[in-house]
Structures are given as C-alpha cells and as structure tokens.
Structure 1
Amino acid sequence: MRPATPRTVVICGASAGVGRACAQAFARTGARVALLARGRVGLAAAHADVEALGGVAWSQTLDIADAVQVDEAAARIESELGPIDVWVNNAMLTVYAPVAQMSAEEYRRVTEVTYLGTVHGTCAALRHMRPRNRGCIVQVGSALAYRAIPLQSAYCAAKAAAMGFSDALRVELKAEKSAIHVTTVHLSAFNTPQFDWARSHMPMRARPVAPVFQPELAARAIVWASQQRRREVLVGFPALKTIWGNKLAPWFADWVLSRQGIEGQQSDEALPTLHEDNLFAPVERDMGSHGRFDAEAKGDSLQFRLSQHRLALTAASLAVLVVIGMVVA
C-alpha cells in the first residue's frame, strides 16, 4: 500500500539480508529510503534497488556501533531527505561458537552492533521524532530474544538486551503520553547471507534451523508493522512456538536444544579454510538479500497472515461461541 504522503524511512543494516529486502519493500510504497550499512558495495547495490523500484534513495556508510556516526547520519537525513517517519533497527552480527571458544573481543563486537546499535539508532530517531511527537521505531527482533540457543550466546544475549531496552522505552513513552510508537518484529529463521559471512568456530558451514523463510516475508511484516500500533509482531510459526513453548515449558526447550540445537545449525558442508567474515570489517561484495537456502525457504506464513487479522478472527470466534451457546440453551 502506498501512503498518501511518501514517508521517510531509515534502515540500519540495509546492504544485505532482511535489511536489503526491507529497502526494496519500502521503495515499492514510494518511500524516501535512507540506507545505512558498513559495506560500500552492498550499500551501493541497495541504493540502486530503491531507485529502480520507484523510491527515493539516500545512503551512507557507517558503523552502527558508533553513536556519533549514527547521530550525524540522522541529522543529514532530516536535512537532505526529510523528517524521519520510520526508523528500522536491523543491523546485527553473530558468531557461531560454544561459549568456551568465544573471545572477549567477539562478545564485545556482537554486543556493540546488535544491542548498542539498536540503542544508538533508537536514540537518534527519538531526538528528531520527539519535537514533532510522531514516528515509528521498528526493532527487528528474534524469537531467540526469548529462547536462547547453543552456539549463538552473544547474539541471543544482545537480542534479549534490545528487547529489555525497548520494553523500558515503551513505558517511558506511554508515561509521557507520546504518540511515538515502538514495535518489535520477532523473526523465525530466514534465508539470508548471514550464514555465509558470519564468523564461525564450528567445523561445518552454518545454516538456519529449519523451517526457513525468505527475507521478503520479513520485509512485508516490517513494512506492515510500521503502519500499525502493535507492540510486537511474530513472523513464522516457529517464532510463535519458540516463544510460547519457552514460557510454558523452558525445561523441555532445554532438553530439545541440547539434542538438536548444535547439529541443527550446521550443514553437511565443511567450513572453508579461508572463510571471510564480517565481524570486524564488512565483506565488500554484493551479497543481496537471499542466502543459499532458496530450495527450502518458504515465501509465506499462514501464522503471519492470521496475525494480521487477529481482531477479526477473535470477533468471529466469539460470535460463533455466542451462537453455539444460544443453540445449546
């Protein structure tokens, strides 16, 4: 859907994966899209995507872990592209390794990008949204914020921290009676280049835990969430199952993951000896939005479609129960 007035949208981590798919999805709505990422090659390709799809593109390379760079970019976007309506915090890093094999530097870097990057982006957006008392901040979360899994302790902890930060901010905005909305879109496993360029200390190449979805589904959910007033949006039944399963029986989740969580994140292919990763420096290639799992990835989710219409479905269910009650009576 194209809004009556084109929106100015900022996407952090826009050069590949879900961020790249988001850039394309917002461009299709006619938005003015500001693209932020470290990699010059991928960012230039994302910029071209936006323009080809009818959006207005603006891009800048930066490190989301640097709060000063993020603030300066936000000021330039406001001046050159227009007042920021939507800010999408999508930048992330991960390392595949048991805790015993992780270094302090690796934990620090994942935290700086995945957690503090979310904080920096949110604070930069708020500085410009608060005087106007409007805007939407979309946090790209994960089911792993609720249920940590083996081999990704740094990422899971950072996503949990980002969720705690967002929950605290929501309450503060509510207390202020602010019209600024913060929503979190929690994702399942998606077919992105993450599994090809993330640092790994494992013997086999990383893979997402099946079932896998295409990044365009995540992008549709993020665009949709930016137009709603939902607190959280779950994308894919695995996210729903993981979050509620952990709430109801965390001990069972521990048991399942101890048997399936390590092998389930590794493919049958050996990790190349010269494996280039993006932890401390960008991989200067255009990785696009898709990873290497197109053959198994799903482009749609019934769970998400039902979630979009949950009020209507709830009302219909209540109506059916009322009718049944009247018939029985």
Structure 2
Amino acid sequence: MSGVRLKPLSRQTIVITGATSGIGLATTRMATERGAAVVLAARNEDALRRLAEEIRGRGGRVEYQVADVADPVQVDAVAAMAVKAFGGFDSWINDAGAFIYGRMEDVSLTDQRRLFDVTYWGVVHGTLAAARHLRERGGAIVNVGSVLGDRAIALQGPYCAAKGAVRNATDAFRMDFEGEGLPISVTLIKPGPIDTPFMEHARNATGTKGTRNPPPAYHPRVAARAILHACETPVRDLYVGTAGWLTSLGGALAPRLDAPAPDRSAAPRTGPGAAPPAGCRAPATRPSAGRGSWRGRHGRHGRSGPP
C-alpha cells in the first residue's frame, strides 16, 4: 500500500454502511463535518431519511440508499447511487454488523448464519463492489473488525468467529490488490469496547438482560477518527483504544489469563502510514436496522475522545 495516494477528506465522497447507529453514525457526522460528501446505507429508510435531513440542514452533502448488506445486489445499488449522485466515491467503509449473545449450542444455526450474512458477507460484498469502482481511480476500503476477531470470549462465539473471518478476508483482499498493483488501500479497524447501542440492539440467547461492554468503553467518535484517518492515510491495521489492543495482546501471550470465565483468554502487525489519531494504536509489530443513536448505556464508564 506504500504507493497508494489518498485524497484529503474534504475532497472525498465516502460510502458508509451501517450508517444510522453507533460507530457508523459517528463516522457519518464527523465525515460531513470535515467536508466530505457521503452516501449512507442501512436497512431502516426512516432513520436514513432523518439523518440525511440533519446533514443537509447543516449544509452537508449526502445521499442514501436502503440496503441489506447480506444481499450483493443491494450493495451494488449503493455503489450505483454514489456514481449517480456524486460521480463515484473515494472511500468505502464496511461498518454494518449484527450481534448475538449466547453459548454456541444455544444460538440457532439460522441466527448464526444471519449474523455471518451481515457481519462477514456484508464486508465481502462491500469490498468487491468498492474494488470494482476503485481499481482504476484508486481509494480506500476500510473494514470495521473487532479485537474479538483476534481472540474469542465466552457468550460471543458467533460474533467472534465472524470478525475473525473479516480479519482474514481483509488480509486476503489486501494481498490480492497489492499483487495486482491496484491503487487501493485496505485497512482493518479493530475497536475495543465502544459506548454504542450495538449491544442493546443485539439478539440475546442467554435469558438475561442488562449486558454491556466492560469499562473502559470509548466514545464512538474515537472509532470514527480512526476510520477517517484510514480514508486519508494508507495503514494496515488500527486498534481503537488501549484496552482493545491489550485484549488482543493478552489473548496472544496469555490466552487463559485475561478472558472472562469459563476461559481465562495474531500477534500485532505493523503497517505503513502516518501516526494514528488520539485514542487509536497502530500495532507495534446487529440484528438492528439502526435507531439513530450513537451512544450506549455506559454513562460515566464511557471514555470520551476529543469532539
């Protein structure tokens, strides 16, 4: 990726999937604040319309396309909307995801397949659609993974498995593009605990309520800064939050010491690019349709980044 050149954010058009909630919503608002045009994708048309009206009310440039990222035809329609509205796009952010709590044997295979359709196949469909457009003009593909793609924890097995698949698919796409000499930067974002409503929107097979990320949970704008940094600067992997980086490191070095019971737990990799934004770390070596909220229930336990 060292030869890839990316535009300043203010000159970009950016496609964002999962744009109406959590990290996707924070990224949308931050991107438009910094002058980018955006094309938003999510399943909830009402939420998309309200968000677009909010952005236009502040003078931002925005269009939206209703899409379920599990369907490659609908993902292609998002790319087509970007071409129609803005003549194309410069960065594509794969953020849409699904989440289920429960032991592996308690989560139905139907639910596990749906989680993979959104969380893994949605990234594959988005990356393929973006690459077809960017292979000539160049640009960035940013996949939102998770530190749980580096290691599994109890009651989140299907999600961890899907994010592990996202990590490996992202690496494979990057190698393919580099092998072809394509001018496409491919970045994997690895958030640790983020204070979003993602978990409250999740399906729960445990029979309990009130699940939330353990503190410290970072403000979603910290993740948004990392994502938009990757839209401007070629970089391989970015961890969001020191706690997330330590989770991955602990899983690699002492897999049974740092994980919740019953199990008490990829070595970090380097990548080119400028220094990451505050709150993010470059390695040293949902079944919800979106509800228009970017914060979760962490309250005083949530860690805020700069606005």
Q: Aligning the two structures, in what range does the TM-score lie when normalised by the shorter sequence?
A: 0.7 to 0.9
Q: Which residue of 2 aligns with 1:207?
A: 212
C-alpha deviations, 1:183-231, integer Å up to 9, x for none? 1111011111112211112212221122111111111111112111110
Find the residue that maps to 2:183 and give its secondary structure: coil
Find the residue that maps to 2:120 and give its secondary structure: helix
Runs of 4+ residues over 6 Å off in structure 1: none
Q: Distance in 1 between matches of 2:107 and 2:297?
A: 26
Q: Does the CA-based 8 Å contact 1:136-1:226 persist in structure 2?
A: yes
Of structures 1 and 2, the one with the larger relative CO (CA 8 A, separation 6+) is 2
Gaps of 5+ in 2: 1-6, 266-285
Q: Distance in 1 between matches of 2:141 and 2:9?
A: 20
Q: Distance in 2 between matches of 1:113 and 1:125?
A: 17
Give the TM-score normalised by structure 1. Answer: 0.80
Q: Does the CA-based 8 Å contact 1:8-1:82 persist in structure 2?
A: no
Q: Which residue of 2 aligns with 1:101?
A: 106
Q: Which residue of 2 aligns with 1:124?
A: 129
Q: Distance in 2 between matches of 1:282 and 1:111?
A: 16
Q: Distance in 1 between matches of 2:221 and 2:214?
A: 18
Spell out the pairing of 1:139-178 with structure 2 (5 A cutoff).
Answer: 139-178=143-182
Spell out the pairing of 1:1-329 with structure 2 (5 A cutoff).
Answer: 3=8, 6-132=11-137, 134-202=138-206, 203-253=208-258, 256-258=260-262, 279=287, 282=289, 286-300=291-305
Identity of aligned residues (%): 35
Equivalent position amino acid for 2:179 in 1: A
Q: Distance in 2 between matches of 1:175 and 1:24?
A: 35
Q: What's the CA shift for 1:257?
A: 4.1
Give the TM-score normalised by structure 2. Answer: 0.85
Q: Distance in 2 between matches of 1:56 and 1:224?
A: 20
Q: Aligned pair count? A: 279
Structure number with larger C-alpha Rg = 1
Q: Which residue of 1 aligns with 2:281?
A: none
Q: Which residue of 2 aligns with 1:315?
A: none
Q: CA RMSD in A?
A: 2.0
C-alpha deviations, 1:105-150, integer Å up to 9, x for none? 1000000000000000000000111122x11000111100001111
Gaps of 5+ in 1: 262-277, 302-329
Q: Does the CA-based 8 Å contact 2:256-2:263 persist in structure 1?
A: no
